[in-house]
Each structure stands twice: as structure tokens, then as C-alpha cells.
Structure 1
């Protein structure tokens, strides 16, 4: 992968690239961050308000309850996936796009070591609830899987769907191990392995 491809993946995978934004946008970005770092159950609206630098009273103008912020955070993850894949689609071929996706994950290894995968940890926590929110993260995962599958299909792979599951599952697994062991190097090493695997599938 070229330096420019790696830089593109890192920039595309980094949330909050559009500046400070309005209060609602800041609250949603703060919710994504604080839910990742603290978990949904431990997070209060006050925590999110402080992280967004918004008065607590203003939060209720946009969100009447924390669950509405949870839903907005899930939507934000979906938007981040859409933005990431749109930027990756500017790369010249499917293998380069998939390798840049992996590079973007690896570039977040320090964060993963501290807090785990931003979306995987949220999905795991919501799955334990019985209020319907546990089903919301599925649309984010389906969006990512569909894009990855499309790239493998462009490589001519008849097993593109299975390969997409394998790649995304590998990322979730290495993110979990990286967090559990607090070892960013593990993600770096596994990222190299995944990039070599993609090369082999592409016939490089």
C-alpha cells in the first residue's frame, strides 16, 4: 500500500473530521466517543454534555432521553461507514480498497487497546438489552459487510460473501484481543497478515 492510500484510510476512519459543527452534531459525536470509552450504562447525559461542551439543559432540546442519543450514535456509526467506503472507493482497485480498510483499522490500534472496537463494544452492550435497541447495530454491520463483499466480488471471487464475513470477523476478533491484552502490536501484526491474505486472494 502506498503512503497516500494509508493516509486516506486513516483520515477516512477518523470520526469528526468536519470541524466543531452545531450543538446536535457535537452531542452525537460526543455520545459516540463517551459510549465507546465508558459504555452506555455508565454514561449520563451530563457526561455527554460536558464532552460536547454544551449546557446540560440544551441536551433536552435535541434528545429527550439517553436512548435517543444511543440511536443517534448508531446512525453516526453508519454515516461513518458510508463516508469511509466512499473515500476508499476512490482508490484504483478492490484489493487496494480492502487493504486500505485494514490499514485504517490498524491505525486505530492504540484506541482499540484502551477501549476496544468503537462499534463492536457498542453492539455487544446493546445486544444485552431487551428494549429493541439491540437490533439497531445490525444495519451498521450489514452496511460494512455489503461493501466488503462487493470488493471481493470485483476481484472475481464467487465466495465473496463468505470472505466478507471472514475479514470483518477477523477485525472484530483482533480488536477484542488487542483490548483484552492491551497490546496494540497484536493488531499491527494481524493487520499485516490480513493484507497479505488479501494480496493472495487478488493473485498478487
Structure 2
């Protein structure tokens, strides 16, 4: 799953074959076909992995106050700017590609992005901020991912997210 996910994030679903996954994971192609008869089955398994990544993050942040949650969220965003510049959003990039390919799994990927977005909404609303704040914050984060990926610029992503963090913390009075 890790190899497939990295290949999808690097080359896209359309640019990744089961043979590529076999080679990258060092799993014989026949064994891969045993578990995943079609590319669609592999895509769904990768989406399960994405959902697991998101749930792991949300579980780690659960129980924090909304201010601490948002700060930890920004810390997570800043964990690996190089990966952000290389892959884009770990959830949104795959969802966007599946939608562009009219892949049947696109709705499933969109659900993961929606879960991610709702988590940000819950925290901002808990702080008494309007939903539009969550909209703007989430859109700015996604824009930072997109521009960093287009430019291949980890420093841009890091600086952009840090500015968002600073402005958010200032807005909520946590500075």
C-alpha cells in the first residue's frame, strides 16, 4: 500500500500501473494480481490507506482544545514541506485526479477530503468563528499545496503555511 500510495502521489493514478506497484514494492506481479484483480481495486485500497492516515491524524488531535488542535494541525502541515511540494495535499491531490479521470472512486476520495474539511470546521466553529473562516483557511491551505507542487517549492509551502498559522493564531487571540 505504501508503494502504491507513493507512486499515485508522485505519478498519479493514470501514470501508475500494477507493474509499477509490483516493482516498487518488490511484490511479484502475480501476487499483486491475487489481491487486486483490477486497478480499481488497488485504487480503493489506497483510498482506505488515505482514510487511515487522516483518521490517525484526527485521533492524535482529538481531545485537544480548539486552539491547541489548530496549532497541532499547522505543525502537522509543516512536518514535511518537501513532500507537500512534491505530492501536494496527501488527500486532495488524489481526489482531484480521480475526479479528472472520471474514476468511480472519485466520490469516495472526495469523502475523505470532506472529512478533513469538516474537522477544520468543527475547530473553528468551537472558537466562535464563522464557517467562512474555515472555508478560507482550508482553501488557503489547499492553494499552498497546489502552488508549492506546481513550483516544486518546499520553501514556498513552509512560508505560506507559517503565515497562515501566524494569522490564524492572531485572529483567535492565541499569540
Q: Deviations over 1:88-143 (max 9, x none)?
A: 1244x211211221221122211122232232221221112234222221111111
Q: Deviations over 1:160-202 (max 9, x none)?
A: x322222221111001111112221111111121112221232
**1:126 equivalent among 81, 87, 98:** 98
Q: Distance in 2 between matches of 1:33 and 1:110?
A: 14
* 1:148 matches 2:117: no
> Match for residue 140 of structure 2?
170
Alignment of 1:30-109 (within 5 A): 30-91=3-64, 93-109=65-81
The answer as to whether partners of 1:110 and 1:184 remain within 8 angstroms in 2 is yes
Greater mean deviation of Cα atoms: 52-61 or 127-136: 127-136
* 1:180 matches 2:153: no
**1:114 equivalent among 69, 74, 86:** 86
Q: Distance in 1 between matches of 2:113 and 2:121?
A: 12
State the TM-score, normalized to the length of structure 2: 0.90
Runs (5+) with no aligned partner, structure 1? 1-27
**1:197 equivalent among 167, 170, 173:** 167
The answer as to whether partners of 1:175 and 1:187 remain within 8 angstroms in 2 is yes
Q: How many residues align?
A: 174
Q: CA RMSD in A?
A: 1.6
State the TM-score, normalized to the length of structure 1: 0.78
Runs (5+) with no aligned partner, structure 2? none
